[in-house]
Chain A
Amino acid sequence: MSIPMNSQQVLDREYLEIRGKILEVAASLDRLERATGDVAQDPRMALMHQGLQIALQSNDAHGDSRAKQIQLLFSREYADSWRQDFDL
């Protein structure tokens, strides 16, 4: 199933909303920089930077959407040995 709108219609409808969201992210990063202290080594900073890079790329080789890739980036890894680890 596809979206009933064409890409021009989606852009026309969402341009200002996307613009606003980009500004929010930029202002949040500015706020982090203006605040005292240093969080550059906090692993969450690296995750945010990686997330932004994913948003600028196309879908990956598996066809996974940017949203799915970002969800997986922010997820703990799954280990299929969990039942043995828990002795269940």
Chain B
Amino acid sequence: MDYFDPHIHMVSRTTDDYETLAKMGCVGMSEPAFWAGFDRGSVDSFRDYFHQLTDFEPQRAAQYGIQHFTWLCINAKEAENVELSREVIAMIPEFLDRPNVLGIGEIGLNKNTKNESTIFLEHMELAIQYNQQILIHTPHLEDKYQGTRMILDMLTSDSRIDPTRVLVDHVEEHTATEVLNRGFWAGMTLYPITKCTPQRAVDIIEMCGGERLLVNSAGDWGPSKPTAVPDLILEMRRRGHSEDLIRKVVYDNPIEFFSQSENFNFQPRD
């Protein structure tokens, strides 16, 4: 089955991974800007990173028939540095008309601090000003519930935000329903220990339904599995779910959400 991985960090993966993903049915992916594993020291580091996301990665993916899209921001962890964050936010518009840029992301919170919240609000302003979609990172582990509620507070208190153009990612059992009930799209990340297993993600699909739900691997430089979406496909099949429902979650839904971006020129396979 063709599928779309809506959240994966290919800059930290090898070319062999592109080949493996293509063999497993991946035809498209979106790569949000994220933390490199260390704090970068200048706005020029981010400029180079955005060149990588908008020039190099789409070419690398295309060699394997995968269409690559991206999102730009300074991530929540580095947002603690407000001065640098403001320099990066001011620079982002240089890249918004690149053909694979879908919007602003993954913005969000990490430790739910005042500085992170300040920069989240300034990213929101940028997205509104340039009519961009938003992809949101919610915090890890014990910070997730509090941080997700804070993020929803900020989004819903601004009437200019259209929830149907916002994807709130890394939802789990205690956050998925509220995100969906408030009209946003929700993404589930398949991480072996710290987020959802494929089994628990299918449980959430069964409890919440398949509307506005996406599933991703968030494969990056840490413990993660870039082929996790096919694991979910297999789990759904083993439980007896229909091919229509599986396809909706792993292919139709991401395409429907991303199609709201002007730059989403996805070409399905014949």
Contacts and interface: CB of A to CB of B under 8 A. Distances in A.
A45 interface: no
Interface residues of A, number: 23
B205 A1 contact: yes
B205 A72 contact: no
A67 B202 CA distance: 13
A5 B144 contact: no
A32 to B, nearest CB: 18
A75 interface: yes
Interface of A is mostly: loop
A75 B205 CA distance: 22
Contact of B114 (A5, A13, A88): A88
Given A1-B209, A3-B239, A67-B173, A74 B142 contact: yes
Contacts of B193: none
B244 to A, nearest CB: 12
A37 B149 CA distance: 38
B240 A76 contact: no
Interface string A66-88: 01100110111111101100111
A67 B93 CA distance: 42
Contacts of B149: 78, 80
Nearest to A47: B142
B150 A82 contact: yes
B200 A76 contact: no
A68 B153 contact: no
Interface string A34-55: 0000000000000000000000
Contact of B210 (A1, A65, A86): A1
A75 B145 contact: yes
B172 interface: yes
A58 interface: no
Nearest to B209: A1
Contacts of B238: 13
B203 A67 contact: yes
A82 B174 CA distance: 20
B193 to A, nearest CB: 13
A62 to B, nearest CB: 11
Contacts of A2: 206
Contact of B241 (A4, A80, A83): A4
Interface string B159-174: 0000000000000111
Interface in B135-186: 141-146, 149-150, 153, 172-174
A77 B210 CA distance: 29
Nearest to B116: A86
30 contacts: A1-B205, A1-B207, A1-B209, A1-B210, A3-B239, A4-B240, A5-B239, A5-B240, A65-B207, A68-B173, A71-B145, A71-B174, A72-B145, A72-B174, A74-B141, A74-B142, A75-B146, A76-B112, A76-B143, A76-B145, A78-B150, A79-B146, A80-B149, A80-B153, A82-B112, A82-B150, A86-B114, A86-B117, A87-B114, A88-B117
